[in-house]
Structures are given as structure tokens and as C-alpha cells.
Amino acid sequence: MQGETLFISDLHLDSAHPEIQQQFFEFIEQDAQGSDALYILGDLFEVWLGDDDDNPDNLVTIQKLKQLTELGTPVYVQHGNRDFLLGSQFEVMSGATLLTDPTLISLYGQQALIMHGDLLCTDDIQYQQFRQMVRNPEWQAQTLSTSLDDRKELARKLRSKSQQEKQEKTEDIMDVNQQTVDETLSKYDCHLLIHGHTHRPAIHNQDKPIQTTRIVLGDWYEQGSVLRWNKRGYKLESLTR
């Protein structure tokens, strides 16, 4: 819809959940087409092994994004903790623009800080160490220099390890740290934060130490989570399937 900016996150698209991919395609055709912009704040894909990844389902998704951008809708994508190897060739294939994490944007005259959200989960020290490793350009270059089959095996091992570690952590540890949220907003001199990652859709308003709003996007496992924003206001909603 023209005059509307859309935010989504944590679709985790893969062949095991074709219903999510289908809902995303319908969302592109019915909602995103003709909108002012679409922002995807990380984890569009469950796994992305590099821009030479030949996963057919991922390639279909890229084609849908390309069709959307060719029709004139800007698409902006941030890396998530699943698809941190998205690169320049992905931009060419999809027509989307990769954004750094975090990024400040102007939203109908208001400054907004957008990010995937994992940087805010500072209580999870184990994860932050992992994130620092896989976001290191040298680690990424070395990993991308290996064969696609080797990367598939690496992804399988990392996912298995991640699932095991999650079982040993409390929900609070894997959620955002409020002090980190406050410090991040203060650093960017911003009062509005939009992010995903935690799979806990909500709108958090805070008056102290400064008045801020933090909007958390949900995942797409059970329904599609989308934030709609226009000049009149915003709405965080679920697209049921």
C-alpha cells in the first residue's frame, strides 16, 4: 500500500516449512507491492551458506524479491544470526540493499533505529562470543573459500550445537538486556527502536531514563508478524494463515 512502510523479521525460510514461504509470497503480492519500502530485519532465511548457495527454495524467494524491487518497491535487508553470509551477489540477484546492523532511518520525519536484535542480548555471553566469531571478515572469507558441501556440514554442526545450548539457557538470558537497550538508544540519540530476533512480538514504552519506544517483531512460524507504519501511526499485527 502506498504511503506505508513495512517491517518484518525472522521468517527462517527453508524447505521444511513451505507454508511460511507461501505466506511470504502472498504478503509480497498483497501488501509489499506498491508500499514505500519493505525492511527485513534479519533471518529471512533459516540458513544462507554464501551467495553461491544453490538451494532452489532460496532462489525462488530471491526471484520474488527481484520482481518486487523491479516494480519499484525498495527492499532493505539486515543480516540475522542465520543468514549472516548474505553478500553483494545477493543484492544483485534480489535487487535488495543490505544494511549494517544497527542502522538509523528516517520514518516519515521520525528517526528510528533498526537492528536484528541479537546485539541486545548481552546476558547470553556464549552467544555473543559466537556472534563475534562468525561476523569476523577473516572467518567469513575463510569459510566462504571452502566447498559448498563443507559449509553445509558446518551449518549442520553449528545448528546442532546451538539447539543443545538453548536447552541449557533460561528464557531471560536469551532476551534483550534493558541496560544495553538504553545504552544503544542513547549512543544513537534515538527514541525509537525496531528489532526482531527474540520472537517475542510486543511494544515496549518506557519513560525513564528517557521516553523511548521499542517495537519487537515476531517470527513467522505460526503466523506472519508485520509492523505497518505510515504518517498517521503504526500497527504491529499478525497475518494468520
Assign residue 174 the CATH number of its domain: 3.60.21.10
Number of domains in the chain: 1
131: containing domain: 5-239
The dihedral through the CA atoms of 197, 200, 206, 211 has a sign that is positive
Alpha-carbon gap, residue 177 to 124, rounded angstroms? 9
Compute the average pLDDT of residues 103-132. Answer: 96
Q: How many CB atoms lie within 10 A of CB 200?
A: 16
CB environment 132-163: b (16+ within 10 A), e (fewer): eeeeeeeebeebeeeeeeebeeebeeeeeeee
Mean pLDDT of the chain: 94
Cis peptide before 74 (omega within 30 of 0): no
Compute the average pLDDT of residues 114-122. Answer: 98
Q: How many CB atoms lie within 10 A of CB 59?
A: 12
| pLDDT value at residue 166 | 80
CB 210 within 8 A of CB 178: no
Alpha-carbon gap, residue 63 to 90, rounded angstroms? 11
Q: Are strands 212-216 and 202-206 parallel, antiparallel or unpaired?
A: antiparallel
Q: Are strands 224-230 and 202-206 parallel, antiparallel or unpaired?
A: unpaired
Return the C-alpha cell found at 33: 507491492
Entry pTM: 0.95
Q: Which residues lie below 8 Å from residue 203, measured CB to CB, with a gap of 6+?
A: 213, 214, 215, 216, 236
Q: Which residues lie below 8 Å from residue 4, measured CB to CB, with a gap of 6+?
A: 35, 36, 228, 229, 230
* pLDDT surpassing 70 at residue 207: yes
Compute the average pLDDT of residues 189-195. Answer: 97
Express each pLDDT in 24-68 by its tens digit.
999 999 999 999 999 999 999 999 999 999 899 999 999 999 999
State the amino acid at position 80 in one-letter form. G
Compute the average pLDDT of residues 145-156. Answer: 94
* pLDDT surpassing 80 at residue 208: no
* pLDDT surpassing 90 at residue 205: yes
Residues 42, 174, 127: CA angle, nearest 5 degrees: 70
